[in-house]
């Protein structure tokens, strides 16, 4: 780190070095989104790299991040309008290091087919973006229509001097993302566990959509805590189905040292099977449920899975009438 004296000694023409730690997929999403929205040269280059040098899609008229429907989520979708008012959608999945979810590429295709059937576009292309090390020698596209590497995109930014100094930031961000994808911790996906989580998610969407469970990514063996953070819950409150232990907690972050206070707020409202317990540094209102085994299919234990989901939903509906009391306590005790 430079001292104050060193900083003051920097000349007007010297550029400060850029260092970006903790780069996530979202950061790369937003970098790409900005260029799709604002830089025609990048749009043309990206299309040529992924769809062929002679491909012309027309003008980019829209770009969006995190586009969701019943088949899942596209990290980025870019819409082009060409001759004859032909609309083409690029559907982009971005990966820094995490593995693909089962059938993820197929769900992109199904989503694109739905767009064509509904008249949203005339054509679509699915594209996987990731560091070079993410791709193997065989089936490099991993089920997507085409792929492009971070290193290729970095090469474009290296030469894009017309972007001015903001180019240096983007180069630094991409280099950090490449380093993370190469050296960062990447849990090994366990197929049965991942399948279990996805089946659990699908069932939750059908029977308890109010929980707004996030679509799960690939999961390593032993992943046994499913978190629910619907918008109806205030900050610091979540519901966690700890299915490998056999209970569902309504968790109050940072309240582990204040169990007596939690009991004084909620004790009179607790049902007979609810208990206030310590959960690491949090307090939890806990209900026991059957344990689940993520190495077995949902169908083998569907009754117990439903009990867990129903209990999570029960804790949500139980808490909401007392939400204001909790918010009032937090307002008066911000450091509790």
| Residue 176 in domain | yes
What is the pLDDT at residue 118? Answer: 94
β-strand pairing of 87-94 with 123-130: parallel
| Residue 223 in domain | yes
Domain that holds residue 113: 25-183
Place of tokens 């070079």: 132
- Number of alpha carbons in the 13 Å side-chain half-sphere of residue 258: 17
Residue 114 sits in the same domain as residue 236? no
Q: Which of 183, 201, 228 is the last residue of a domain?
A: 183
Residue 32 sits in the same domain as residue 165? yes
Q: Which of 150, 183, 216 is the last residue of a domain?
A: 183
Residue 137 sits in the same domain as residue 209? no
Would you say the pTM of this structure is higher than 0.85?
no
Residue 248 sits in the same domain as residue 166? no
Residue 169 sits in the same domain as residue 209? no
Q: How many domains does the chain have?
A: 2
Give me the residues paired with residue 147 across strands.
Answer: 128
Residue 174 sits in the same domain as residue 35? yes
Residue 42 sits in the same domain as residue 60? yes
CATH code (residue 227): 3.30.1460
What is the pLDDT at residue 94? Answer: 92
What is the pLDDT at residue 17? Answer: 56
Residue 119 sits in the same domain as residue 246? no
What is the pLDDT at residue 190? Answer: 76
E-assigned strands of 26-179? 59-69, 72-81, 87-94, 123-130, 146-149
Q: Which of 133, 156, 183 is the last residue of a domain?
A: 183
Residue 35 sits in the same domain as residue 177? yes
| pLDDT mean values, one per 10 residues, the chain (336 residues) | 41 54 86 94 95 93 89 91 94 83 86 95 95 69 91 94 88 88 57 90 96 89 92 95 96 93 95 95 96 93 97 98 92 70
| Residue 18 in domain | no
What is the pLDDT at residue 187? Answer: 54
Q: How far apart are CA 129 and CA 174, in angstroms?
A: 12
Residue 179 sits in the same domain as residue 234? no
């Amino acid at each position: 780190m430079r001292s104050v004296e060193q900083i003051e000694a920097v000349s007007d023409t010297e550029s400060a070095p850029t260092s970006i730690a903790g780069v996530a997929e979202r950061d790369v999403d937003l970098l790409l989104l900005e260029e799709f929205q604002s830089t025609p040269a990048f749009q043309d280059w990206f299309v040529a790299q992924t769809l062929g040098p002679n491909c012309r899609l027309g003008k980019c008229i829209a770009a969006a991040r995190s586009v969701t429907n019943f088949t899942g989520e596209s990290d980025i979708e870019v819409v082009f309008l060409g001759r004859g008012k032909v609309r083409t959608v690029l559907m982009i999945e971005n990966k820094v290091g995490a593995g693909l979810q089962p059938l993820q590429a197929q769900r992109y295709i199904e989503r694109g087919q739905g767009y064509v059937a509904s008249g949203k576009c005339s054509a679509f292309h699915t594209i996987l973006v990731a560091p070079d090390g993410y791709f193997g020698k065989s089936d490099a596209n991993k089920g997507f229509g085409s792929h492009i590497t971070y290193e290729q995109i970095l090469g474009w930014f290296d030469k894009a001097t017309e972007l001015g100094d903001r180019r240096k930031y983007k180069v630094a961000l991409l280099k950090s993302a490449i380093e993370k994808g190469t050296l960062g911790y990447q849990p090994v996906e366990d197929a049965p566990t991942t399948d279990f989580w996805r089946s659990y998610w699908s069932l939750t969407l059908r029977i308890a959509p109010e929980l707004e469970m996030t679509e799960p990514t690939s999961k390593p063996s032993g992943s046994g805590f499913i978190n629910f953070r619907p918008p109806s819950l205030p900050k610091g409150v979540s519901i966690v189905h700890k299915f490998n232990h056999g209970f569902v907690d309504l968790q109050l972050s940072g309240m582990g040292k204040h169990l007596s206070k939690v009991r004084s707020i909620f004790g009179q409202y607790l049902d007979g099977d609810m208990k206030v317990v310590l959960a690491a540094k949090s307090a939890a209102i806990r209900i026991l449920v059957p344990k689940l085994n993520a190495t077995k299919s949902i169908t083998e234990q569907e009754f117990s899975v439903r009990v867990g989901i129903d209990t999570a939903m029960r804790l949500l509906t139980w808490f909401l009438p007392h939400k204001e009391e909790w918010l009032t306590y937090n307002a008066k005790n911000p450091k509790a």
